[in-house]
Structure 1
Amino acid sequence: MLEVVVLVSGGGTNLQAVIDAIEEGRITNTRITGVLSNNKNAFALERAKRHGIAGRCISPKDFASREEFNKEFMEAVDSWKPDLIVLAGFLVVIPPAMIEKYRNRIINIHPSLIPSFCGTGFYGLKVHEAALARGVKVVGATVHFVDEGTDTGPIILQKAVEVKAEDTPEVLQKRVMEQAEWKLLPQAINLIANGRVSVRDGLAVISCENGGE
Structure 2
Amino acid sequence: MKKIIVFASGSGTNAENIIKYFAKGKTARVVSVFTNNASAKVIERAKNHQISTEIFSKNELLERNVLQKIQEIDPDLIVLAGFLLKFPENIIEKYPNQIINIHPALLPNYGGKGMYGMHIHRAVVENKEKETGITIHFVNENYDEGAIIFQKSTALTNEDTPETVAEKIHDLEQKYFPEIISRLLEE
The normalised TM-score by structure 1 is 0.83
Taking the aligned partners of 2:55 and 2:111, their CA distance within structure 1 comes to 27
Structure 1 residue corresponding to 2:186, chosen from 187, 194, 197: 194
Taking the aligned partners of 2:165 and 2:175, their CA distance within structure 1 comes to 16
After superposition, give the CA deviation of every residue in 1:142-193 in whole Å (9 maximum; x if it has no partner).
1101011111111111111121322221221121111x11122101111012
Structure 2 residue corresponding to 1:47, chosen from 40, 45, 48: 45
Distance change in 2, residues 1:72/1:137 (3 Å): same
Residue number in structure 1 paired with 2:27: 29
Structure 1 counterpart of 2:97, one-letter code:
N
* SS of structure 1 residue aligned to 2:133: strand
Residue number in structure 1 paired with 2:68: 75
Residue number in structure 2 paired with 1:202: none
Residue number in structure 2 paired with 1:181: 173
After superposition, give the CA deviation of every residue in 1:76-135 in whole Å (9 maximum; x if it has no partner).
222221111000000111111111110000000000011111112211111111111111
Taking the aligned partners of 1:20 and 1:76, their CA distance within structure 2 comes to 23
The answer (yes or no) to whether the contact 2:60–2:66 under 8 Å persists in 1 is no
* SS of structure 1 residue aligned to 2:64: helix
Give the RMSD, CA atoms, in angstroms.
1.5
Residue number in structure 2 paired with 1:143: 136
* SS of structure 2 residue aligned to 1:92: coil
Structure 1 counterpart of 2:179, one-letter code:
Q
How many residue pairs align between the two structures? 187
* SS of structure 2 residue aligned to 1:31: strand
Distance change in 2, residues 1:68/1:4 (3 Å): closer
Residue 35 (structure 1) shift: 0.4
* SS of structure 2 residue aligned to 1:86: strand
Taking the aligned partners of 2:186 and 2:27, their CA distance within structure 1 comes to 7
Query: Who wins on radius of gyration, i.e. which is larger?
Result: 1
Structure 1 counterpart of 2:92, one-letter code:
I
Q: Does 1:2 align with 2:2?
A: yes
Distance change in 2, residues 1:68/1:105 (3 Å): closer
Question: What pairs up with 1:17-166 in 2 under 5 angstroms?
Answer: 17-24=17-24, 28-60=26-58, 66=59, 69-166=62-159
Residue 33 (structure 1) shift: 1.0
**Range that drifts further, 164-173 or 138-147:** 164-173
Structure 2 gaps, min length 5? none
Taking the aligned partners of 2:38 and 2:113, their CA distance within structure 1 comes to 24
Structure 1 gaps, min length 5? 61-65, 196-213
**Range that drifts further, 16-25 or 124-133:** 16-25
The answer (yes or no) to whether the contact 2:2–2:28 under 8 Å persists in 1 is yes
